[in-house]
Amino acid sequence: MSSVTLTGLFAQAVAKDPARPLITYYDRRTGERTELSGTTLSNWVSKTANFMRDDLMLEAGGTVAIALPPHWQTTAIILAAWELGCGVVEPSLSEPVDALFCAQPRLMELADAAANEIVVSSLHPMGLGVQAKPDHVIDYTTEVRNHGDHFAAYTQIDPTLLAVTAGSLSLTHQSAAQAAQQIAAQVAIRDDDRILMIAESVADAGPLTWLAAPLAAGASIVLVSADDDPELSGWLTSIAAQENVTASLGVQLTDSPGIRHLGDSGQPE
């Protein structure tokens, strides 16, 4: 049985070509386009892992609740949690966790959640911090910048620790990596794919599908947050052409017949 972990999948994806775009993010509402190479994303993951360990006191075996939409910052936060050997879980008002990360629109809903630390991100395209928040809530966008671009783990990740909850499943770092590989095979992701995804469409599928599976296959991601408007189809077609998209997940690009539709994977068996 393979001993690969989720962190190992990320390391392999970066090592394939550190300079290539690993995730490109578009926002229809703000006009944002942010592109992160493997090297740049690794730096963000390292800064976030250092922030989690040094400021939030997280360590292997901890639990991190994610109340964030699919976004390039969410990618860095999830990968950093896995880098520390933590488990990524769904947010809850009553289920205790070590840290909860949320987007600003959900802050008031989750400000009193049962978490040792609550962290909010503005997800602002220019990296601006949160303007108003309770005193006990930490501003991720502001604080993460104070941490180094290189992360040195104290110990090797125990592959049997919890890595992610996926519906009713609780998967370890090893079994989650195997599940990501299984999803990638089920939906036929290729190692040279550039996969376009609609953030709102893939959110419910969870990070194993929209993040870990492409990494497992060695593919790269074009993640778009799209408002529902009459010109959406044309905008997606333009992005697909500009970004050399080869496949789509969670959306069919009817005006781009050369692009494969990967379909829905469901949960691993």
pLDDT (mean) for 8-17? 95
8 Å CB contact between 101 and 77:
yes
pLDDT by residue (tens digit) across 243-256?
A: 999 999 988 887 77
- Residues near 1 by Cβ (< 8 Å), separated by ≥ 6? 174, 178
Q: What is the pLDDT of residue 263?
A: 66
pLDDT (mean) for 63-68? 97
Q: How confident is the model at residue 2 (pLDDT cuts 50, 70, 90)?
A: low
7: three-class secondary structure by DSSP: helix
Amino acid at 136: H
Q: What is the pLDDT of residue 94?
A: 85
The predicted model scores a pTM of 0.94
Q: What is the pLDDT of residue 230?
A: 64
Q: Count Cα atoms within 13 angstroms, Cβ side, for 4.
A: 18
Amino acid at 254: T
Q: What is the pLDDT of residue 269?
A: 39
Range ranked top by mean pLDDT from 2-6, 130-134, 192-196? 192-196
Q: What is the pLDDT of residue 190?
A: 94
Amino acid at 39: T
CA distance 10 to 5: 9
CATH superfamily, domain 6-262, is ANL, N-terminal domain (3.40.50.12780)
Taking all residues of the chain, what is their mean pLDDT, rounded to a whole number? 91
* Domain locations in the chain as residue ranges: 6-262
pLDDT (mean) for 193-214? 94
pLDDT (mean) for 191-216? 94
The mean-pLDDT minimum among 73-82, 186-195, 224-233 falls in: 224-233
CA distance 95 to 15: 37
The answer on pLDDT for 58 being more than 90 is yes
8 Å CB contact between 149 and 43:
yes
CA-closest candidate to residue 45, choices 84, 88, 9, 91: 84
The answer on pLDDT for 227 being more than 80 is no
pLDDT (mean) for 7-20? 95
The mean-pLDDT minimum among 18-27, 56-65, 167-176, 207-216 falls in: 167-176
Q: Each residue of 107-141: b (16+ CB within 10 Å) or e? A: beebbebebebbbbbbbeeeeebbeebeeebbbbb
pLDDT by residue (tens digit) across 94-141?
A: 889 999 999 999 999 999 999 999 999 999 887 777 877 888 999 999
CA-closest candidate to residue 33, choices 22, 24, 42, 23: 24
Q: What is the pLDDT of residue 265?
A: 42
Q: What is the full DSSP assignment across 107-121?
A: HHHHTTSSEEEEEEE
